Amino acid sequence: MAIQGKTDIDQLLAKSLKEIAVRRPVEKITIKEITDKAGVIRPTFYNHFQDKFELIEWIIRTELLEPVEPLIRNDMIIEAMVLLFTNIEKDKAFYSQLVKMEGPVKFHDIAKKCVREVLLELIQNESSGRVSKHKWLTPEVISSYYAQSMCFATEEWISMGMTISPREMAEAYQYMLTRSLTDIIKEL
């Protein structure tokens, strides 16, 4: 194997995990299986990631969240959501397996952590120097709330077989985000 950079190895390990995950429950996949499929030795994996859950985090960050960040920063929320759902749909088999993860580490927890960190940074940058009207509404609380909401909606969409298009899902989620519960009940 030719000498490869960190990103190349990360991508190779991610591709390996994704290919195995469509045939086998994620919680049962071993590091050896991932490295054998990738054609690297186990120490190489551990030079890049602590465990397969950190690899899943890397996949979420690089393949789902990083591409949508510029859109979010430019107030293109619907477009960001459409891109996010489209990228998930492209790897439908993989994400369908991830939402089924059992055990102490669940996809929801990994995804929520990643989304919360992105939102926290965004909120802190945008609200720098301003004081919230409500002391309880800290950037941490707000980012956790929206991360929970976004992950729930995304996981439900995946679990239901992604039967509606990414655009329709983005519009439905945007609808919920921009209305109060009272408004939604009245509009049903």
* 57-91 exposure pattern, b = at least 16 Cβ within 10 A, e = fewer: bbbbeebbbeebeebbeeeebebbbbbbbebbeeb
Radius of gyration over every alpha carbon of the chain, rounded to an integer in angstroms: 18
Pick the CATH number of 51-187 from 1.10.357.10, 2.60.410.10, 3.40.50.1110, 1.20.140.160: 1.10.357.10
- What is the tens place of the pLDDT at every residue in 146-161? 999 999 999 999 999 9
**For residue 1, what pLDDT is reported?**
43
**For residue 126, what pLDDT is reported?**
84
- What's the Cα-to-Cα distance from 178 to each of 71, 88, 181, 184, rounded to whole Å? 18, 23, 10, 10
Nearest to 96 by CA among 157, 150, 14: 157
Residues of the chain with pLDDT under 50: 1-3
**For residue 2, what pLDDT is reported?**
46
Q: Is 102 helix (H, G, I), strand (E, B) or coil?
A: coil
Q: Give the domain ranges of the chain.
A: 51-187
Q: Is 75 helix (H, G, I), strand (E, B) or coil?
A: coil
CA–CA distance, 33 with 96 (Å, rounded to integer): 20
